[in-house]
Structure 1
Amino acid sequence: MREIPAESKTIESVAQAIDALTRGKLLDALAPEASARRGDARFGLWFRGHERASYRLVPSLLRPAPGRAPMDEVSLTRHFRALNPDAAPAGTPDFAALVTMQHYLAPTRLLDWTENLLVALFFAVREPHLDDCGEDAAIWILNARRLNYYSSATRRSAELLYAHDADVVARAALCRVRNRDEWRDCVARSLQAPDIDGEHYRHARLLSAIGDTPIPVSQIASEAQTVDLRAVPLNTPRGIRPVKLFDDTNWASAERLALRLSMPVAVFPPRANPRIRNQAGTFTLHGGRYVADTSAWAGKTLSPSAIGAPVDLLDIDAALSRTRILKWLRIPCAKRAAMRRELALIGITEAALFPELDYQSRHLAERWTPPRESDSDD
């Protein structure tokens, strides 16, 4: 797995976090382009808070524990929907079902982000029991539109994706399919819905990349691995050769699109519930899948049925030569409590971000519990 790059800056207060974004050169290589077709120059700048700086930018479902088989996503999803038919009724699109599962803490291929820096700061320093853990926290910053420019399998433009885009439909369908033929059929049926966006020829090209394109066995894995997209093995007319994925040569070839489907895309979800609205929530939807055992492909070079392993955000960022999609800021462990107090003073609390009554009650209990001496201001 690729090493996390060095942080861009250390921040010790809310004011320093804001200054890092509004002054200096932090965003010179990261801010969304003002010339993009839709949205202003900051639309698509997303944030994510990590309680521990060592945490990876990978959804829980796609983090198999060392020495253990990956989670059975299909069975997990089917079981959740069977147990909770009111939460995810029959006919609910796959992406909407994944958002519901994420809301109720089930493992999914979604990773939470927010458009609000202060919300991300809250999640980075939220838990008091980590104030003495000895590990720093972190804020990750993502250029979501630029990510989609490189990872979309249906269009090459710096735009956010929405629930009815074919890229989203294709990756979300992985929650209920086990092989490429089943995946193609599932996506083909979903793309027939009247509200699906995009042109027919793009859909046809996507389906071909899923169902008609064998992938190199090197793309199949049972655990996380580093993928060098500057020299990734692809099946070409001259055999399997290392290819620089992000060059402009034959961008829409089926082999390149098939690999892109193993990458995450940035999705602006319908904000249908108060929690997502309060948190200005957004998601990256991750592609690919790990397998329990790779021995079935021993001695082979191509597989027509396997689904390739996930390609993560750091692999994409590392392959770019002149631009970035990611930066991160370090929050010293000793500053967690002070930053939490600053956020509370400006109204960024559990009560503000979680409208459910259990969270409201937890916030009230914390607010009216006398502080420890160690909680006093420095």
Structure 2
Amino acid sequence: MATYDAGELFGPWEKTISGWDGLLDEIKFISNVYPGNSFVWRGQSDAAWGLKSSLYRSLETELGSPPSEEQLIAAERKLLRLARIDWRLDGIPALQLFARLQHVGAPTRLLDVTANPLIAAWFAVSGSGATDDKDARLFAFVNNRRPLQLNSSWNTNTPRWHQLHTDEHRRAVGWGTGLGRKIWRPPALHNRIPAQNAAFIVDGIPLDTAETGRVVPDEPSRWTVERLRKYISVPLKLSRPREGRLPKENAPVFTYRILSSGRKEIRHELEERFGFRFATIYADIEGLAQYMRETNWLGEL
């Protein structure tokens, strides 16, 4: 499978963070400029990575190209059959089941985010695949729509979006356009959910660039939906945080590049002064086992 540097997409919109003070300055800036809005955050340990759900990445690897919405739904149906029949996890509504699976490492379309920007920063500088010689990335998603709630429409055995059979139907309800993006703060279905102040972004694969909006200001015609899908599994309204009113675009997304030279300082502050470390982020026995697998925990005896 071909690899892509998502800096091509995010670069024109990103702000640079070079250390701990810069991180705090950016968090404080958007909090002060947009006091009436809430945000969810996501940290990624490599700035070159796209913004993709784990299921999207798995299918992309299997297929050798970005998957379609139909292929994503087919994979979800297979996952639900496996869980409910072979693993006898029947009786759990689909969205709750996806959330539980996501937090133990199974691939789903849910995109992990957190309401705490410092936790997102920890994932950026310390998370899976982290190396101090690479820049990291931080996202801030403006949450200006009603949150997803586990009501009769969403707390069902069949995911609501499985009932949308054509792109025309999806577009009519905003699925895959960003206009219907849902941010879900789930109940404590797993110990990691409260530990990470976790939330999920729920949306479809980008449908078209007309709805996704501006991407790169000086070359909008080059960004076909096929090109976008190389980098993102959900539609984005990229923007720059600025003084004044919130951009008119629906639920804009801000992105930051954390320079490699600042990673150690940020990690030190988060772990030593604020207590965000592997044991508190992955606060369960599975997290302990993961830590032992992925680190030199024995050190020098």
TM-score, scaled to structure 2: 0.68
Structure 1 position 103 matched with structure 2 position 103: yes
After superposition, give the CA deviation of every residue in 1:251-279 in whole Å (9 maximum; x if it has no partner).
xxx78524x12343211211232210010
Out of 22, 32, 35, the residue aligned to residue 28 of structure 2 is 22
Residue 123 of structure 1 corresponds to 123
- Structure 1 runs not aligned, ≥5 long: 35-40, 147-157, 178-182, 184-209, 217-253, 291-308, 371-378
Q: Is the 8 A contact 2:51 2:233 kept in 1?
A: no
Which residue identity lines up with residue 163 of structure 1 in the other structure?
Answer: L
C-alpha deviation, 1:329, in angstroms: 1.4
Q: Is the 8 A contact 1:351 1:359 kept in 2?
A: yes
Out of 52, 59, 64, the residue aligned to residue 67 of structure 1 is 64
CA distance in 2, matches of 1:76, 1:332: 38
Structure of greater relative contact order (alpha carbons < 8 Å, 6+ residues apart): 2
- Structure 2 runs not aligned, ≥5 long: 1-5, 208-228, 240-245
C-alpha deviation, 1:78, in angstroms: 1.4
Residue 277 of structure 1 corresponds to 194
CA distance in 2, matches of 1:127, 1:27: 25
CA distance in 1, matches of 2:285, 2:52: 30
Partner SS state of residue 52, structure 2? coil
- Root-mean-square deviation over aligned CA pairs: 3.6
CA distance in 2, matches of 1:131, 1:11: 17
Residue 4 of structure 1 corresponds to 10
The 1:289–1:141 alpha-carbon spacing in structure 2 relative to 1, beyond 3 Å, is closer
Q: Is the 8 A contact 2:138 2:256 kept in 1?
A: yes
The 1:166–1:19 alpha-carbon spacing in structure 2 relative to 1, beyond 3 Å, is same
Out of 148, 151, 155, the residue aligned to residue 164 of structure 1 is 151
* Number of residue equivalences: 249
Residue 262 of structure 1 corresponds to 176
Larger displacement relative to structure 2 (97-106 or 123-132): 123-132
Q: Which has the larger radius of gyration?
A: 1
Residue 54 of structure 1 corresponds to 48
Structure 1 position 79 matched with structure 2 position 89: no
CA distance in 2, matches of 1:160, 1:270: 13
TM-score, scaled to structure 1: 0.56
C-alpha deviation, 1:327, in angstroms: 0.5
C-alpha deviation, 1:56, in angstroms: 2.2
C-alpha deviation, 1:10, in angstroms: 1.8
Q: For 1:309-328, list aligned pairs within 5 A.
A: 312-314=234-236, 316-317=237-238, 322-323=248-249, 325-328=252-255
After superposition, give the CA deviation of every residue in 1:177-217 in whole Å (9 maximum; x if it has no partner).
5xxxxx2xxxxxxxxxxxxxxxxxxxxxxxxxx47xx645x
The 1:362–1:167 alpha-carbon spacing in structure 2 relative to 1, beyond 3 Å, is closer
Structure 1 position 369 matched with structure 2 position 262: no
CA distance in 1, matches of 2:156, 2:238: 24
After superposition, give the CA deviation of every residue in 1:298-330 in whole Å (9 maximum; x if it has no partner).
xxxxxxxxxxx997232x447x97345210111
Q: Is the 8 A contact 1:47 1:115 kept in 2?
A: yes
Identity of aligned residues (%): 22
